[in-house]
Structure 1
Amino acid sequence: MADAVEGCYQRADEYFKRTFPRPALTFRRSGKNAGTAFLQQNRINLHPELFKQNEHEFFEDVIPHEVSHLLTWQLFKKVKPHGVEWQAIMVDVFKRPANATHSFDVKGVIGKLFNYACLCSSHQLTIRRHNKILKGAQYKCRKCNGVLVEEKLVN
């Protein structure tokens, strides 16, 4: 994995004719995220279980995707996460499609889900969002703009 990250950086160094600082690499579960770039920490986190299930795609797309985020930050600072600068690095430097999301099967990596409803449909929220609601946060449906309310089971 570290070799793949290094390979991306060598391509970027050659393309931009400068040397970029290499990131730290961590492997922690992160919900449905295959990878996450922590810009100011210069760190990439990769989801270990999704990696095991999708090794080829990680090497082909996820690692260049996250490296592109770090390079975009180092070159341009505050720009849109999947904006034109990031897209250009994906396409021009890594010769990969600039896809913002993955399509991995995440059923096996998501923890317990909580049932919520709005005015138009039902929703399933992660433990993180459920706990935020318990502390007073509100989430709204993207379709009807109704506040999500927990569906309680009635015995």
Structure 2
Amino acid sequence: MYEIKRRLYSKLLELNHRSVELFGVDLSDITIKFELKGIAAGKYYPKRDLINLNKDLIQTYPDEMINNILCHEVAHHITYKLYGGRVKPHGKEWKEICGSIGGVPEIYHSLPTTKVKKFKRYRYICECGEHLLTSIRHNRIQKGVAYFCKKCKKKLSQVS
């Protein structure tokens, strides 16, 4: 992972030079974390100047993550610094910025995400039928939160 991080921060320096030259936006305030899980490859948090990258994907596909996903998220940062929240996250401004710093201005990545956690499902019933709830809702019900069927409006009960 050390070598991947070294390459990533080297790419970030390169992107910073382009960003300052083209847009006058310095990227030195960006924090990068590797805590993202699931199907998202990266996520930008504008109020915290934070880019969070998928830890499994960066280890498995470092070239794609460094060359495309990092550029994608950095383009969000530049767009936010230039326009605030006044433009669409993947609008024409973002697409132009992403392309000009060397990224591919596409919304979705095509990396395989086979390691995505599958939630265990719990069976619940109401008057109109059976429902499968995730462990999150099941645990909330166990703590006393009531869930009701959207169709018949009756309280859901766990199947024994």
Q: Are 1:103 and 2:136 matched, yes or no?
A: no
Unaligned segments of structure 1, at least 5 residues: 117-123, 139-145
Name the one with the larger helix percent: 2
Contact 1:29 1:46 in 2 (8 A): yes
Partner AA of 1:85 in structure 2: E
Contact 1:65 1:90 in 2 (8 A): yes
Deviation at 1:49, TM superposition (A): 1.1
Residue by residue over 1:47-70, the C-alpha shift from the partner in whole angstroms, topping out at 9 and shown as x without a partner, is 121001111111220000000001
* Map of 2:26 onto structure 1: 20
Tell me how far apart the structure 2 counterparts of residues 34 and 14 of structure 1 sit (CA, whole Å). 27
Tell me how far apart the structure 1 counterparts of residues 81 and 25 of structure 2 sit (CA, whole Å). 11
Deviation at 1:30, TM superposition (A): 2.7
Root mean square deviation, CA, Å? 3.1
Please identify the structure whose Cα radius of gyration is greater. Answer: 2
Q: Are 1:82 and 2:57 matched, yes or no?
A: no
* Map of 1:10 onto structure 2: 17
| % identity of equivalent residues | 24
TM-score of the superposition, structure 2-length normalised? 0.69
Shift >6 Å, 4+ stretches: none
TM-score of the superposition, structure 1-length normalised? 0.71
Deviation at 1:31, TM superposition (A): 1.9
Deviation at 1:29, TM superposition (A): 3.0
* Map of 1:121 onto structure 2: none
Q: Are 1:68 and 2:75 matched, yes or no?
A: yes
Give the one of 50, 57, 63 matched to 2:57.
50
Tell me how far apart the structure 1 counterparts of residues 17 and 159 of structure 2 sit (CA, whole Å). 55
Cα 1:105/1:14, change in 2 over 3 Å: same
Deviation at 1:114, TM superposition (A): 4.2
Contact 1:26 1:43 in 2 (8 A): yes
Tell me how far apart the structure 1 counterparts of residues 111 and 73 of structure 2 sit (CA, whole Å). 16
Unaligned segments of structure 2, at least 5 residues: 1-7, 123-131
Tell me how far apart the structure 2 counterparts of residues 45 and 84 of structure 1 sit (CA, whole Å). 23
Deviation at 1:113, TM superposition (A): 2.6
Q: Are 1:112 and 2:122 matched, yes or no?
A: no
Deviation at 1:97, TM superposition (A): 2.5
Q: Give the secondary structure class of the aligned counterpart of 2:36.
A: coil
Question: What number of residue pairs does the alignment pair up?
Answer: 132
